[in-house]
Structure 1
Amino acid sequence: MKFRLLLLPILFILSFQGIAQKKQLTLEDAIINRYGDLAPDRLEQLQWLANDHVCSYVKDNQLYKNYTYGLEKKLFKLDDLNKLLGDSLKSFPYMTWVKNNALSFYYKGDNITINDKARKILARVPVPKKGSNFDYCKENGTYAFTKENNLWLSKGKDEIAITQDEDKNHVYGQSVSRNEFGISGGTFWSPKGNFLAFYKKDESKVSNYPLVDYMGRVAEHTPIKYPMAGMPSEHVEVGIYSMITEKTMYLQKQGEPEDYMTNLTWSLDEKYLFVQELNRAQNHMKLNQYDAITGRFIKTVLEEKHPTYVEPQHPLFFLPNEPNEFFMFSNWDGYARIMHYNTDGKFIRQLTKGDWEVTRFVGYDAGEELLYVEGTKDSPLERHLYKINVRNGDITKITHGSGVHYTTISPDNKYFIDHYQSTDIPNVTTVISNGGKKLRTLNISNDNAADYQFGENKIIELPCKDGKNTLYARIILPPNFDATKKYPVILYVYGGPHSQLITRSWKNSARWWQYYMAQKGYIAFTLDNRGTPNRGRDFETVIHRQLGVHEMEDQMTGIEYLKSLPYVDAERIGVHGWSFGGFMTTNLILTHPDTFKVGVAGGPVIDWSMYEVMYGERYMDTPQENPEGYENSNLLNKVQNLEGRLLIIHGVQDPTVVMQHSMKFLRKCVKEGKQVDFFAYPTHPHNVRGKDRVHLMEKVSRYFEDNL
Structure 2
Amino acid sequence: MSRFKLIVICFLLAPAFIFSQKKNFTVEDVIINAYSKLMPENLSQLQWIPASHDFSFVKDKFILAGSVDSEKYDTLSSLDKINALLSEKGYDKINYLPPISWIDENEFNFIYDNKLIRVNVEANTAEVINRAPEEAENLTVAPNNRYLAFTIKNNLYVSLDGKEFKAVTNEPDSNIICGQSVHRNEFGINGGIFWSPNSDFIAFYRMDQTMVSDYPLLDISSKPARIKNIKYPMAGQASHHVTVGIYKIDDESTTWLNTGEPKDQYLTSLTWSPDQKNFFIAHLNRDQNHLKLIKYDVSSGEPVKTLFEERDDKYVEPETPLYFIPGSPNKFVWLSERDGYKHAYLYDTDGNLLKQLTKGEWVITDFDGFDKDGKYLFFTATKESPLERHYYRLELKNDKLEKITKEPGTHSVRRSDDGDFFIDNYSNYDTPRKIVLANYNNTLRNLLTADDPLSEYNLGKTEVFTIKNKEGIDLYCRMILPPDFDPAKKYPVIFYVYGGPHAQLITNSFGYGRYFIWFYMMAQKGYIVFTLDNRGSDNRGLEFEQATFRRLGTVEIEDQLCGVEYLKKLSYVDTSRFGVFGWSYGGFMAASLMLRTGNQFKAGVGGGAVIDWSLYEVMYTERYMDTPESNPEGYKESSLLNYVDNLKGKLLLVHGTFDPVVVWQHTLLFAEKAMHLNKPLDYFPYVKHEHGVRGRDALHLYTKITDYFVDNL
User: Which TM-score band applies after superposition, normalised by the shorter structure?
Assistant: over 0.9
Q: 2:382 aligned with 1:376, yes or no?
A: yes
1:92 Cα deviation (Å)? 3.3
Q: Does the 8 Å CA contact 1:170/1:202 hold for their aligned counterparts?
A: yes
- Separation of aligned partners in 1, 2:32 and 2:459: 17
1:264 Cα deviation (Å)? 0.3
Aligned to 2:636: 631
1:607 Cα deviation (Å)? 0.8
Give the counterpart letter for 1:412 in structure 2.
D
Aligned CA distance change for structure 1 residues 280 and 506 (closer, same or farther; 3 Å): same
- Separation of aligned partners in 1, 2:171 and 2:138: 17
- Separation of aligned partners in 1, 2:368 and 2:670: 45
Give the counterpart letter for 2:75 in structure 1.
K
Greater CA drift, 205-214 or 45-54: 45-54
Aligned to 1:85: 86
1:550 Cα deviation (Å)? 0.9
State how 1:513-532 maps to structure 2 within 5 Å.
513-532=518-537
Q: Does the 8 Å CA contact 1:278/1:286 hold for their aligned counterparts?
A: yes
Indicate the SS of the match to 2:643: helix
Q: Does the 8 Å CA contact 2:382/2:390 hold for their aligned counterparts?
A: yes
Q: Does the 8 Å CA contact 2:334/2:345 hold for their aligned counterparts?
A: yes
Aligned to 2:366: 360
Aligned CA distance change for structure 1 residues 543 and 132 (closer, same or farther; 3 Å): same
- Separation of aligned partners in 2, 1:327 and 1:595: 48
1:64 Cα deviation (Å)? 1.9
State how 1:71-150 maps to structure 2 within 5 Å.
71-72=71-72, 73-86=74-87, 91-99=96-104, 101-117=106-122, 119-139=124-144, 141-150=146-155
- Separation of aligned partners in 1, 2:229 and 2:81: 49
Aligned CA distance change for structure 1 residues 508 and 37 (closer, same or farther; 3 Å): closer
Aligned to 1:45: 45
Give per-residue Cα distances to partners, 1:39-97, cap 9 Å, x unaligned: 11111221111232311112354322211223433323444333323488675343221
Q: 2:596 aligned with 1:591, yes or no?
A: yes
State how 1:566-605 maps to structure 2 within 5 Å.
566-605=571-610
State how 1:318-337 maps to structure 2 within 5 Å.
318-337=324-343
Greater CA drift, 58-67 or 675-684: 58-67
1:124 Cα deviation (Å)? 3.2
TM-score w.r.t. structure 2 length?
0.95
State how 1:257-656 maps to structure 2 within 5 Å.
257-365=263-371, 367=373, 369-433=375-439, 435-467=440-472, 469-507=473-511, 511-656=516-661
Greater CA drift, 260-269 or 137-146: 137-146
- Separation of aligned partners in 2, 1:446 and 1:674: 49
**1:186 aligns with one of 175, 192, 198:** 192
- Separation of aligned partners in 1, 2:18 and 2:468: 40
1:443 Cα deviation (Å)? 1.4
Gaps of 5+ in 1: 1-5
* RMSD, aligned α-carbons: 2.1
Greater CA drift, 98-107 or 336-345: 98-107
Greater CA drift, 323-332 or 584-593: 584-593
- Separation of aligned partners in 2, 1:193 and 1:124: 16
- Separation of aligned partners in 2, 1:424 and 1:682: 40
Aligned to 1:3: none
Q: Does the 8 Å CA contact 1:261/1:277 hold for their aligned counterparts?
A: yes
Indicate the SS of the match to 2:521: helix
Give per-residue Cα distances to partners, 1:295-331, cap 9 Å, x unaligned: 1111100110000000001111001111111001011
- Separation of aligned partners in 2, 1:16 and 1:465: 53
Give the counterpart letter for 2:431 in structure 1.
I
Give the counterpart letter for 2:341 in structure 1.
Y
Give the counterpart letter for 2:412 in structure 1.
Y
Q: Does the 8 Å CA contact 2:178/2:204 hold for their aligned counterparts?
A: yes
- Separation of aligned partners in 2, 1:138 and 1:340: 26
Q: Does the 8 Å CA contact 1:326/1:340 hold for their aligned counterparts?
A: yes
- Separation of aligned partners in 1, 2:174 and 2:506: 43
Q: Does the 8 Å CA contact 1:278/1:285 hold for their aligned counterparts?
A: yes
Give the counterpart letter for 1:420 in structure 2.
Y
- Separation of aligned partners in 2, 1:427 and 1:640: 48
Indicate the SS of the match to 1:160: strand
Q: Does the 8 Å CA contact 1:143/1:154 hold for their aligned counterparts?
A: yes
Q: 2:152 aligned with 1:152, yes or no?
A: no
Aligned CA distance change for structure 1 residues 107 and 257 (closer, same or farther; 3 Å): closer
- Separation of aligned partners in 2, 1:48 and 1:237: 37
Q: Does the 8 Å CA contact 1:363/1:409 hold for their aligned counterparts?
A: no
Aligned to 1:161: 167
Aligned CA distance change for structure 1 residues 76 and 654 (closer, same or farther; 3 Å): closer
- Separation of aligned partners in 2, 1:255 and 1:100: 48
State how 1:245-264 maps to structure 2 within 5 Å.
245-264=251-270
Gaps of 5+ in 2: 1-5
1:551 Cα deviation (Å)? 0.5
Q: Does the 8 Å CA contact 2:103/2:145 hold for their aligned counterparts?
A: no
- Separation of aligned partners in 1, 2:459 and 2:153: 49
Greater CA drift, 30-39 or 331-340: 30-39
TM-score w.r.t. structure 1 length?
0.95
- Separation of aligned partners in 2, 1:215 and 1:88: 34
- Separation of aligned partners in 2, 1:91 and 1:661: 41
Q: Does the 8 Å CA contact 1:420/1:428 hold for their aligned counterparts?
A: yes
- Separation of aligned partners in 1, 2:124 and 2:50: 19
- Separation of aligned partners in 1, 2:236 and 2:112: 47
Aligned to 2:3: none
- Separation of aligned partners in 1, 2:124 and 2:499: 53
Give per-residue Cα distances to partners, 1:114-141, cap 9 Å, x unaligned: 2114721255322322221111214161
Aligned to 1:21: 21
Give per-residue Cα distances to partners, 1:162-193, cap 9 Å, x unaligned: 11111222111111000000000011001111
Indicate the SS of the match to 1:32: helix
Indicate the SS of the match to 2:566: helix
Give the counterpart letter for 2:82 in structure 1.
L
- How many residue pairs get aligned? The number is 699
- Separation of aligned partners in 2, 1:263 and 1:652: 34
Q: Percent identity?
A: 47
Give the counterpart letter for 1:470 in structure 2.
D
Q: Does the 8 Å CA contact 2:332/2:348 hold for their aligned counterparts?
A: yes
- Separation of aligned partners in 2, 1:440 and 1:676: 57
Q: Does the 8 Å CA contact 2:106/2:122 hold for their aligned counterparts?
A: no
**2:180 aligns with one of 174, 183, 189:** 174
State how 1:637-676 maps to structure 2 within 5 Å.
637-676=642-681
Aligned to 1:69: 69
1:259 Cα deviation (Å)? 0.4
Give per-residue Cα distances to partners, 1:577-633, cap 9 Å, x unaligned: 111111111111111243100011111111111110000000000011111111111
